A and B are shown apart, each in its own frame.
Chain A
C-alpha cells in the first residue's frame, strides 16, 4: 500500500451519558476536570487506547495490523502466523552498519504493527533511527460545557471474603458519572511523517480509512459499567491537497462550531441540545471537507 499523500486536520466529537469517559487517578477516579473552567477532559492517550483496541478487534489476524501496546483483556489470540518476508533494501549505502540495522528493524516494526505506524514508538536502539514519530497526533478532548460529576453510591449484596460475611452481608461502592457531556478533540495527520523516504512510517490510505472507521465505531465496542453510554457524534476531516498542507490548521478547525441548539435551556442533557455546523463558505484553495459522521 502506498503511503498517504495528503495532510489531514480533523475535529472529533463524542458524548457521554451517565458515565465516566476518563477517570483521574489523582482524584479517586472522578471524571477529569479542567480546574479553571470546570470543563471535562479526556486525554489523548485514552482515545488512542480505544483506537488500538478497535483495530486489534477488527483486524484480528491480518498480517501487518498487529498492535504493539496491548491490553491482555483485549487480546486472547495466538500470534502464530508466518509473515511475508519483508524486502529490506538498505536505504543508503552510506549509512553506518549499526544505523542501517536499526532502520531495518524500525521499518519491520512499522510494517507489522498498526499502532507503531500510526502513533509512533521508541525503540531501544542507540542510533537515531530507533525513534518513530507516527503521523497521527491527538490533542486532549474538552467538553463543550462545564460538567458536574455526580457521585453515585451503590450497594452490593454480597461480600468478598468470609470474615466480612460474619459482620455484615453487604458493602457499599461508589461510581462517578457525568450526566451528560459533549467532548471535542482535535487531531492531525501529517502526510510527510507517513510518506517521507527517511522519516515516514508508511502509514497508508488503507490505514487512514481504518483510523476513521475506528473513530466512528470504537465506543460501540468499549462498553463497560463505568463508561455509561458513549458515542461518536461527529468527525469532520479537512483534507489538504498537498502533504505539507494548504491552510493553517487552527483556521480550519475553527470552522467547526458547536453551539447550544435554539430553545435549549438549563444544563445540556442530550446531543439534541447542541447544534454542530461546519462553515464551508470560501474554503481556502486545496481544502476538501469530509463529514464522516
Chain B
C-alpha cells in the first residue's frame, strides 16, 4: 500500500441509489466505488491528484429498511433566477413546496461499515506542478484522516446519512460471518468517466466481504 490508504467508514444508515431506480430510490447492497471516492475526496482532494478505489471491504450484514418522505420534484430554475437578477428582486422566484410535492419512498441500508482501499495518482491532465508528489498528498490525507479533519462531512450516499471515518492503520477487521462465501452482486455503477460524465458499470463480485474494483478503463468494464 505504498501509494494507497485504507479508510474505515461507518454509519447507521446509507443510500447508494441504483440508477435504474432513482424515483423511489433503492440502494445497492453495498457502497459503490464512486460513493467511496466521494468520501475520500471529502477528506482531501486537489485537481492535481486522482483517487482510484482499489478494493471495498464490507464488514456488516446487509440489511434494508424503507422510508417515505415528502420531497420536491423541481430544481431551482436558472432562467427565472437570471430574470430576477436583472430585475433586482426575488419576487416570484421562490418555489412553493405544496405545488411541487412528491412523496417518495427510499429503501435504505441499515447499520453499515466498510473499509475503503484507495490509491492515489497524480492527475494525468497536467494539473500537477513539479512540486506535487504522491507522497505529499498521501501524507496530507493521512494527517487529515487521523485528526478527523475533512473538507466537508463525508456521507454514505446522501447527505442526511453522515459518515464517521477513521484512518485504518492496523489489521483489517474481519467481515461478519454472513458475508462469507462468494456472492454476485450483479452490475453496479463503477464511476463516471470524465469528460463525458458517462457512467461505467462493472460486475461486482463479493468474496468473503471483499469486492475488487477494476480500473475505469479495464477490459471488464461496461459502458
Binding site for B on A (CB under 8 A): 24-26, 32, 34-36, 41, 43-45, 66-72, 75, 78-83, 85, 101-102, 104-105, 108-109, 112-113, 116, 121-125, 130, 133, 135, 137-140, 142, 186, 188, 190, 192-193, 196, 242, 244-251
CA of A83 to CA of B96, assembled, Å: 22
**Mask for B63-81, Cβ within 8 A of A = 1, else 0?**
0011111111001111101
B89 contacts partner chain A, Cβ-Cβ < 8 Å: yes
Of A78, A82, A249, the contact of B148 (CB 8 Å cutoff): A249
* Cβ of A113 to closest chain B Cβ, rounded Å: 7
From DSSP, what is the main secondary structure of chain B's interface residues? mixed
Shortest distance between the CB of B123 and any CB in chain A (Å): 17
- Residue of A whose beta carbon sits closest to that of B63: A36
**Inside 8 A of A36's CB, which chain B residues have their CB?**
65, 110
Q: Which of B70, B90, B153 contacts A188 (CB 8 A)?
A: B153
Q: Interface residue tally of chain B, by bracket?
A: 35 or more
| B149 adjacent to A242 (CB under 8 Å) | yes
Given contacts A44-B160, A82-B88, contact A244 B76 (CB under 8 A): no
Q: Which of B69, B81, B96, B110 has the most chain A CB atoms inside 10 A of its CB?
A: B81
Residues of B within 8 A of A124 (CB): 75-79
Closest to B153 in A: A188
B211 on the interface (CB 8 Å rule)? no
Not counting A109-B76, A137-B159, A242-B149, a sample of 17 additional A-B residue pairs whose C-beta atoms are within 8 angstroms of each other reads A36-B110, A44-B160, A66-B90, A68-B76, A83-B89, A112-B90, A116-B76, A137-B153, A137-B160, A139-B160, A139-B161, A190-B151, A190-B153, A193-B151, A244-B151, A245-B148, A251-B148
> What are the residues of chain B within 8 A of A34 when measuring CB–CB?
65
A111 to B135 alpha-carbon distance, docked (Å) = 39
Determine the chain B residues whose CB is within 8 A of the CB of A138 once the complex forms.
160
What residues of B have a CB within 8 angstroms of the CB of A242 in the complex?
A: 149
Q: Taking the nearest CB of chain A, how far is it from the CB of B48, in angstroms?
A: 15
- Cα A250 to Cα B161 in complex, Å, equals 13
Residues of A within 8 A of B65 (CB): 34-36
Q: How many A-B residue pairs have CB under 8 A?
A: 146
Chain B residues near A188 (CB-CB < 8 A): 153, 162
B1-18 near A? 1/0 per residue, CB < 8 Å: 000000000001100000
Query: Shortest beta-carbon distance, B37 to chain A, in Å?
Result: 16
What is the CA–CA distance of A91 and B82 in the complex, to the nearest angstrom?
18
Tell which of B97-105, B114-122, B180-188 binds the partner: B97-105
Q: Which of A69, A83, A113, A248 contacts B97 (CB 8 A)?
A: A69
User: What are the residues of chain A within 8 A of B78 when measuring CB–CB?
Assistant: 102, 105, 123-125, 130
* Cα separation A140 to B159 with both chains bound (whole Å): 11
28 pairs, A vs B, C-beta closer than 8 Å = A24-B68, A25-B68, A35-B65, A66-B94, A68-B93, A69-B95, A70-B95, A71-B97, A79-B91, A85-B88, A105-B81, A108-B85, A109-B76, A113-B90, A122-B75, A125-B78, A133-B152, A133-B159, A137-B162, A140-B13, A140-B160, A142-B12, A188-B162, A190-B152, A193-B151, A248-B148, A248-B165, A249-B153
